[in-house]
């Protein structure tokens, strides 16, 4: 590799950084003021690209392109304001996780809306009028539009910087980022401030998306791809810091560009192609930054933002009624193969539900009693699934041995990642766990020779007698019952109590001799190990495992399941997982737009049952119980 090629890639990295900067700056601004992590920000970016494409092709010419970009940014800003006023305003007081869930529902809805409006094909916009050519730099041709992008980002950064430093609006934004309660107490109209900040952040995302129109085709996968990158940038730069976002965008884009520039590395004993590790590299940077500087490069420690959620009631051993109910359910599940003999699909669906139950229950173990909101539980699912599949395929393990090794692989991964993660809390813990999950995903995706890359590992079929759907279902049922009962047992044991004590008040737990980090670390590892069982079961149930099945979507599914069921009850995750898996399976079969429908269902549930399904029922029950008791 020559120095020229190296520098050329560095320039390329700079132009990529500008897109990243726009979306990350908006995300960061919004988080700083409203404390909402807007997952739908990637969707706004994607909308920006699509709208700009339409304006540029329908109107055409220089005005259609350049004017279209400006119009797009404004329009996306208006969409953002509408989101804030219609949805977010209702849930500012809800627990942090519900806000995330609501914005994730928007991701689903926007994605399907885009599919409906623009269709599934990738749409490449026209060349930029006036900047269609290329410039010769370092012996290569760099599109002049890319050169333009390199300068746009710092220009917007400077503009934003002055706006924030000099204007009254900017002062309010900075004040609210530091202490929004104080700003409210000083009589500032928070509703207007929040709406305008959300609109501004959305505008930036729309602008970033619109500027990409001449560079890459608009496609439906942009939203999640770009939000992943944007999170990394915001977390590396420091939540709420615009300059940090620019710095981080450059670092991330340059690291990626350098990976490509380096190409094949020959260390003598091992040879690998660095250009295949761009995704891994990005998340490794993030993980290192979070470990060394937990609040990002230019971020400041955030004040503890309330936990307005109702404190949960003490856990009690299952009442006789619940035990009887559980026994009935178990009996029904055992009888299912007989009842559903004529329909093999029922067995498949039921197995899927059981896998979801194990997945969600293990996630709830650390989210609820541990108070650690993991956004990367898919990592342990993936480690279990790939562990089992690869041990079967590459190491020649028999099926059952491979399945039993799945939790061990996941446990080891969770011990490693958890050790770093438990040092953080809140949004930062969520982001670090997400980063680890992305590292696992990216490693699997890009390490083709070992994992099969995007094709995954195929031919992972169970051997007799488990090759019959109903026998495999019974195996899944046995493992699900064991997993759920084990986790329950742990929660009622001193360990589970210590985990809750650490969550309720770390200070007080430490004052009575509890090593909170150690307890939470072990809890994290246990949850990861149990989750590995779900992964192993999944691989054998489908006969294959691919990166798609362990991507960020699965982590989010897990969160949705836990929150659907209600985080404060132990039965909740089981109910949530069952409902979610059934909804997903049934809706998916009905319509092409299942994501949008699912999104609407989630939004409805978030707005109607802020305590989850099981939580709402137990609240109803206690009300009913209270009335009955009162009359007696």
Give me the residues that bind other proteins (CB under 8 A), please: 311-315, 317, 489-490, 492-498, 500-501, 503-505, 507-515, 519, 522
Smallest separation, CB 515 to other proteins (Å): 6
> What is the smallest separation between the CB atom of 585 and other proteins, expressed in angstroms?
34
List Cβ neighbours of 464 (8 Å cut-off, separation of 6 or more): none
For other proteins, give the closer residue by CB, 121 or 310. 310
Q: Is the CB of residue 559 less than 8 Å from the CB of residue 477?
A: no
| CB of 485 vs other proteins, minimal distance in Å | 12
587 is written with which tokens? Answer: 């809706």
CB of 57 to other proteins, least distance (A): 57
Parallel, antiparallel, or unpaired: how do β-strands 134-137 and 140-143 relate? antiparallel
Nearer of residues 457 and 567 to other proteins, judged by Cβ: 567
Residues 232 and 111: beta-carbon distance below 8 Å:
no
Q: Is 249:21 a contact under the CB 8 Å cutoff?
A: yes
Smallest separation, CB 177 to other proteins (Å): 24
Q: Taking the C-alpha atoms of 571, 574, 575 and 578 in order, what is their torsion angle to the nearest 10 degrees?
A: -170
C-beta of 188 vs 315, nearer to other proteins: 315
Which of residues 92 and 497 has its CB atom nearest to other proteins in the complex? 497
- Give 6 or 497: the residue with its C-beta nearer to other proteins: 497
In whole angstroms, the minimum distance from the beta carbon of 447 to other proteins comes to 35
Please tell me whether the peptide bond between 352 and the residue prior to it is cis, using omega within 30 degrees of 0.
no
In whole angstroms, how close is the CB of 567 to other proteins at the nearest point?
12
Quote the tokens at residue 449. 């020779």
Q: Is-contact 514 498, C-beta < 8 A?
A: yes
Comparing CB distances to other proteins, the nearer of 467 and 505 is: 505
Contacts of 27 (CB under 8 A, 6+ apart): 37, 38, 41, 201, 205, 230, 231, 234, 245
Work out how close the CB of 520 gets to other proteins at its nearest, in angstroms, rounded to a whole number: 12
Of the pair 347, 522, the CB lying nearest other proteins is at 522
Q: How far is the CB of 521 from other proteins (least distance, A)?
A: 12
Residue with smaller CB distance to other proteins, 354 or 501: 501
| Cα angle 322-326-332, degrees, rounded to a multiple of 5 | 145
**64: which 2 tokens?**
């259609």
The Cα 545–Cα 457 span in angstroms is 5
- Residue (41 or 488) nearer to other proteins, CB: 488
Please report which helix (H) or strand (E) contains residue 265, including its range.
strand 264-266
Could you tell me which residues are beta bridge partners of residue 272? Answer: 265
Could you identify the residue written with the tokens 């307890």? Answer: 519
In the complex, the smallest distance separating the C-beta of residue 101 from other proteins, rounded to whole angstroms, is: 22
**Closer CB to other proteins, residue 166 or residue 508?**
508
Say which residues have a Cβ less than 8 Å from residue 29's Cβ, sequence separation at least 6.
173, 197, 200, 201, 204, 240, 242
- Residue 218 β-bridge partners: 123
Nearest to 534 by CA among 396, 383, 334, 425: 383
Distance CA 37, CA 39 (A): 6
Q: What are phi and psi of 303, to 5 degrees?
A: -60, 150
Smallest gap from residue 594 Cβ to other proteins (A):
37
Q: How far is the CB of 530 from other proteins (least distance, A)?
A: 12
Residue 468 or 517 with smaller CB distance to other proteins? 517
Encoding tokens for residue 380?
């342990």
Nearer to other proteins, 216 or 312 (CB): 312
* CA separation for the pair 564, 574 (Å, rounded): 10
Rounded Cα gap, residues 418 and 518, in angstroms: 10
CA-wise closest residue to 246 among 230, 261, 257: 230
């Amino acid at each position: 590799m020559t120095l020229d090629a190296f520098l050329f890639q560095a320039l390329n990295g700079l132009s990529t950084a500008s897109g990243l900067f726009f979306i990350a700056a908006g995300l960061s601004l919004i988080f700083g003021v409203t404390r909402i992590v807007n997952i739908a920000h990637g969707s706004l970016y994607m909308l920006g690209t699509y709208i700009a494409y339409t304006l540029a092709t329908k109107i055409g010419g220089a005005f259609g392109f350049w004017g279209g970009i400006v119009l797009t940014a404004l329009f996306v800003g208006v969409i953002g304001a509408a989101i804030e006023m219609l949805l977010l305003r209702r849930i500012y007081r809800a627990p942090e996780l519900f806000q995330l869930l609501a914005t994730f529902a928007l991701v689903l809805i926007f994605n399907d809306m885009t599919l409906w409006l623009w269709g599934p094909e990738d749409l490449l916009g026209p060349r930029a009028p006036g900047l269609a050519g290329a410039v010769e730099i370092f012996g290569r041709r760099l599109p002049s539009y890319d050169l333009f992008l390199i300068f746009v980002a710092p220009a917007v950064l400077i503009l934003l910087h002055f706006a924030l430093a000099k204007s009254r609006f900017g002062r309010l934004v900075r004040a609210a980022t530091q202490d929004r309660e104080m700003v409210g107490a000083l009589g500032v109209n928070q509703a207007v401030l929040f709406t305008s900040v959300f609109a501004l952040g959305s505008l930036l995302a729309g602008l970033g998306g619109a500027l990409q129109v001449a560079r890459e085709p608009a496609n439906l996968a942009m939203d999640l791809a770009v939000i992943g990158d944007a999170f990394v940038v915001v977390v590396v730069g420091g939540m709420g810091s615009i300059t940090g976002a620019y710095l981080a965008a450059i670092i991330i884009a340059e690291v990626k560009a350098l990976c490509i520039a380096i190409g094949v590395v020959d260390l003598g004993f091992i040879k690998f192609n660095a250009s295949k590790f761009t995704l891994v590299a990005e998340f490794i940077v993030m993980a290192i930054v979070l470990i060394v500087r937990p609040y990002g490069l230019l971020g400041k420690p955030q004040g503890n933002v309330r936990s307005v959620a109702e404190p949960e009631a003490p856990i009690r051993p299952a009442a006789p009624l619940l035990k009887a109910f559980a026994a009935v359910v178990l009996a029904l599940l055992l009888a299912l193969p007989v009842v559903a003999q004529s329909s093999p699909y029922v067995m498949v669906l039921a197995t899927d539900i059981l896998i979801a139950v194990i997945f969600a229950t293990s996630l709830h173990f650390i989210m609820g009693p541990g108070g650690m909101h993991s956004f990367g539980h898919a990592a342990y699912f993936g480690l279990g699934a790939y562990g089992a599949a690869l041990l079967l395929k590459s190491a020649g393990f028999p099926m059952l041995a491979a399945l039993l090794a799945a939790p061990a692989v996941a446990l080891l991964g969770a011990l490693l990642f958890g050790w770093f993660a438990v040092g953080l809390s809140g949004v930062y813990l969520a982001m670090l766990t997400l980063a680890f999950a992305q590292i696992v995903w990216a490693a699997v995706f890009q390490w083709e020779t070992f994992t099969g890359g995007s094709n995954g590992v195929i031919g992972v079929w169970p051997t007799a007698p488990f090759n019959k759907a109903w026998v495999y279902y019974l195996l899944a049922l046995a493992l699900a019952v064991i997993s759920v009962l084990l986790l329950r047992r742990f929660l009622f044991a001193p360990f589970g109590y210590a985990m809750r004590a650490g969550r309720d008040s770390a200070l007080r737990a430490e004052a009575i001799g509890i090593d909170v980090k150690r307890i939470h670390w072990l809890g994290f590892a246990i949850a990861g190990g149990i989750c590995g069982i779900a992964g192993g079961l999944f691989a054998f149930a489908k006969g294959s495992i691919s990166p798609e099945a362990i991507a960020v979507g699965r982590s989010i599914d897990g969160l949705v399941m836990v929150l659907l069921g209600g985080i404060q009850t132990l039965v909740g995750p089981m109910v949530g997982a069952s409902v979610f898996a059934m909804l997903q399976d049934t809706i998916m079969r009905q319509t092409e737009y299942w994501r949008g429908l699912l999104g609407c269902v989630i939004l409805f549930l978030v707005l109607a049952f802020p305590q989850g399904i099981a939580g709402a029922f137990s609240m109803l029950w206690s009300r009913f119980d209270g009335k009955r008791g009162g009359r007696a």
